[in-house]
Each structure stands twice: as structure tokens, then as C-alpha cells.
Amino acid sequence: MSQTILPNLSDLLASIDQHDVPVEIIQQVIARCITPLSDTETLPLKQTLGRVLAQDVISPINVPSYDNSAMDGYAFIATDLSDTSAKLNVVGKAYAGHPYLNEVRSGECVRIMTGAAIPRGCDTVIAQELVSDATDSHISIATSKVNAGDNRRLAGEDLRSGSVALRKGKRLSPADIGLLASLGIADIAVIRRPRVAFFSTGDELRSIGQALDEGCVYDSNRYTLHSMLVRAQCEPIDMGVVKDDPASLETALREACAQADVIITTGGVSAGDADYTRQMMARLGEVLFCKIAMRPGRPMAFGKIHCDGRSALLFGLPGNPVAVMATFYFLARDAIYQLMGTKPHTQTLLKVVSTHAIRKKPGRTEYQRGILSTNTSGKQQVTLTGAQGSGILSSMSEANCMVVLDHDQNDVAAGELVSVLAFDGFI
Ligand code: AMP
Ligand code: MG
């Protein structure tokens, strides 16, 4: 097992006040309990989107590998320009992939297309629309229209041979993958996907396809979690629904620990339920049951389960569907990223005007669901999506952002600025 057991986890857990732990504190505790995975796999470039680079990539070539033209125009020698102008003979053509092979001399120029190699001797390109009296055999250039060195893309100006093109730990974006392709790299070593086993707990839960008996609800959390895990480039292991009894839960946790790096459960961690699961989990590992000062997502269990010589991180998320998403995005995903050897997601908060008053008690961080839009005068604004109950999944579905209300923040008046985290790129 690649995770080591942090010797002071219990101390760490015991040292924090288990009631109303600020979000930043629990994030730090979680971060201290993680040892990044070291297993790697080498994959074709097209299969690496979102995966984490296992080593620095050193550029084997200059990109571009030769000086080339940034414009359709004429390549010439800048010293040919007099105080006012130059008349030059067109001696040949250079197309992308079809260079002009002779040396260009004073008084000469070459018709050149974008991406074509700058012919030997030339140092400047003028755009075709800036020359005058152009024929197949000659052109005139007004000196005022061009500066020496214009429109030349220099060899290595994008990436220099021997330099670090991408660093270990980079989560690969479309731009990164294109960049690797520009280096001629076909396969790349990435950290293996973390295996994340997850299950829902609750006697009231029914799986899709089962009859919805009275007093029961369909299990949505496993579907939300599966999707979030796939987006985070994990290998999801769906373990179904587990009944609300310690024996079933223990069996499920043992099975999960046998195959996963991380276990995520939902439900059964609020005050009443937690009592019996707490004792059972205490036998299996070191698990903190805490009340996080966040809404949605107050109760949560976090720790490590050890079983048959293996161990796995455990996130016992609350059962309410919006709380599951909030605790996943603000607590579990960064831990998974850290496990993959990459940085937490950068949360870029915008400050925008709230169209309505928002009630907020100091002493907890709130993540309210909002709709970010542009008003008639072109300013960005945010409006909450109706009811904000932690069971109302449609509030997440309608929203395009979270309104993040800080721990110490009070009520917000209509027209006040609030912090907003856009979903695009975040969820
Ligand atoms: P719990 O945290 O177990 O007390 O559950 C809190 C609320 O979330 C209850 O209303 C549950 O019915 C609901 N809930 C728990 N798990 C799920 C699930 N997997 N899918 C949908 N709702 C759930
Ligand atoms: Mg429950």
C-alpha cells in the first residue's frame, strides 16, 4: 500500500475541537494525512486529459524548430531599407513546408507565407498588404511601414530545447496535451488513477430499478459521486447501498479497504447514527467525527481505515445530496488531487453584487447556490436559486456558481458585494 499511516493522526484528530471546526482547519488536517501515490502508468497522449504528470518533461527540440514567418508577405534584409524606402527584386517563394533554399542577398526579397522558414540572409517580414507596386518580380517598401525583425517567430521562442516544458504534478489540460504533441511526444508517464470505493448508507434508500416503497427515496448520491469521481480522473468502485447497521457497514468498509485508496460513504454520520458507527470505525482505524462549521455539510467523518495490512482514507460524507457535493468539492477532491500528486483546485472567487438580501449567521462558511448573470448595464450580479435546503439537489442543477459566505460574515444586504465561485471549470 502506497499510503503510509501518519503516526500522529490520532493526536492531530484529538487536538482539534470536534465541534464547529472551521473549513480551513479540517482542510489542513486532511492535507496532513495524505501521502501521494507513486505508481505510474505510461499512456498515449490522447488518454491523458486530466491526469497528473509523473515526471518533468524536458523539451527534446526547439519549438518552433526554425525561424519562420508570422505573416503572409515578403522576407527581406532590414538594412536594405533607406531613410524612406526600398525597391526589392522578388527572387523566389517560401511556403510552409517548402522552404526557399538559396541565400538571399541585398536588394532581394522572397514571397513568404505564414509558417514558412525565413530564408537564409533575411531578418524581417513585411505583411503583403503593406507593400506597394507589387508585381511577380519586384515590390516597394516604405521604411515607415516596418521595423527590423518584424513578423519573425524565432526558433525556440515557444519552448527551448533542454528546458522544462511541463513540471511533474501538472494536471494535463488540452493546452498541455497540444504542447506535448508539439514536442513530438507520443506517450507520457502519469500517476495511476486513485481507486475510490463508495457506497450509500440508509434503510430508506432504493436503487434505480427497484420499487419506491413508502417512505423511501432513490439513491442519488452514488450517481453524483460517480460523476464527480470520473471528472476527477479517479477509478470509481461502486459498492451499492448498505443498510444502517454496524455489521453491514463494517463488512462494506472491510471490502472497500481491500481494494481502494479512498473510501467515500454517504449518510449515517449525523449525531444519532454516528454513535454506533463511531465505535465500529474506531476498531477499524482512526476516524474523527466532527461537526464542520460549513453549510451545507456539517457532520462528517474523516480518517483512515486499516484492514489486512492495507489502509485507505475514509470520507464519511453526510447523506443530504447537496451536502455530499459541497463536502466532496471543498474537502474530498483536494485530498484526491493531493493523492495524485497535484495541487488543490485553485478557487478563483469573483466579487459581484447580490441582487437580494441573504441571511447569514457568523460562525460557519456557507456555500449557497447562485445564478451569475450580467445585468442590463453590463455588470455581473448573482441571485440565489430559490430554496437552499441541503436536500434540494435541483438547487445545484439550476445554479452556475456558489455564493461563498465567509466564516465571520453576517447578513448580506441587497446590492452588497459577495464572493462567488463559478462552476465552470470547478465542478
Ligand atoms: P443521513 O445523513 O443519513 O441522516 O441522511 C440525511 C438525508 O439525506 C435524509 O433525508 C436521507 O434520506 C437523505 N439521503 C441519504 N443518503 C441519500 C442518498 N444516497 N440519496 C439520496 N438521499 C439520501
Ligand atoms: Mg441515514
Q: Which residues surround ligand 2, an ion (CB under 5 A)?
A: 202, 267-268, 319
Say yes or no to pLDDT of 5 above 80. no
Q: Is 152 helix (H, G, I), strand (E, B) or coil?
A: strand
Site to substitute for ligand 1 among 198, 199, 201, 205, most atoms within 8 A of C-beta: 205
Q: Give 236's strand partners.
A: 196
In the structure, which protein residues have their CB atom closer than 6 angstroms to any atom of ligand 1?
A: 200, 202, 204-205, 217, 219-221, 266-268, 270, 273, 318-321, 391
Q: Find, among 5, 13, 49, the residue nearest to 302 by Cα.
A: 13
Q: How far is the CA of 212 from the centre of ligand 1 (A)?
A: 15
Name the closest-CA residue to atom 16, ligand 1: 319
Which atom of ligand 1 sits closest to the CA of residue 244?
3
Q: How far is the CA of 243 from the centre of ligand 2 (A)?
A: 9
Say yes or no to pLDDT of 310 above 70. yes
Structural contact between residues 229 and 263, judged by C-beta atoms closer than 8 angstroms: no
pLDDT score for 137: 97
Listed in sequence order, the DSSP H helices in 141-287 are 174-182, 221-231, 246-259, 271-284
Residues 56-95 pLDDT 10s: 999 999 999 999 999 999 999 999 999 999 999 999 999 9
Which atom of ligand 1 sits closest to the CA of residue 272?
4
Q: How far is the CA of 303 from the centre of ligand 1 (A)?
A: 21
Q: Which ligand is nearest to the CA of 266?
A: 1
pLDDT score for 100: 98
Q: Which ligand is nearest to the CA of 240?
A: 1
Q: How far apart are CA 427 and CA 420, in angstroms?
A: 14
Residues 10-43 pLDDT 10s: 666 666 666 789 999 899 999 999 999 999 999 9
Q: How far apart are CA 81 and CA 86, in angstroms?
A: 5
Q: Find, among 72, 83, 79, the residue nearest to 127 by Cα.
A: 72
Which positions ≥6 away from 227 have C-beta within 8 Å? none
Structural contact between residues 296 and 331, judged by C-beta atoms closer than 8 angstroms: no
Cell digits for 345?
483546485
Q: How far is the CA of 134 from the centre of ligand 1 (A)?
A: 76
- 279-310: b (≥16 Cβ within 10 Å) or e: eebeebbbbbbbbbbbbbbbbbbbbbbebeee
How buried is residue 148: exposed, middle or buried, by Cβ count under 10 Å (0-12/13-18/19+)? Answer: exposed
pLDDT score for 7: 44
Strands in 235-242's sheet, in edge-to-edge order, are: 235-242, 195-201, 262-266, 310-317, 299-307, 285-291
Residues 384-414 pLDDT 10s: 998 999 999 999 999 999 999 999 999 999 9
Cα-based angle 241, 245, 331 (whole degrees, multiple of 5): 60
pLDDT score for 8: 60
Q: How far is the CA of 214 from the centre of ligand 1 (A)?
A: 15
Which atom of ligand 1 sits closest to the CA of residue 241?
19
Q: Which ligand is nearest to the CA of 216?
A: 1
Distances in Å between the Cα of 53 and the Cα atoms of 45, 120, 135, 180 are 11, 39, 53, 11
Q: How far is the CA of 169 from the centre of ligand 2 (A)?
A: 38
Q: How far is the CA of 277 from the centre of ligand 1 (A)?
A: 16
Name the closest-CA residue to atom 8, ligand 1: 320
Structure letter (DSSP) for residue 342: -
Residues 150-163 pLDDT 10s: 999 999 999 999 99
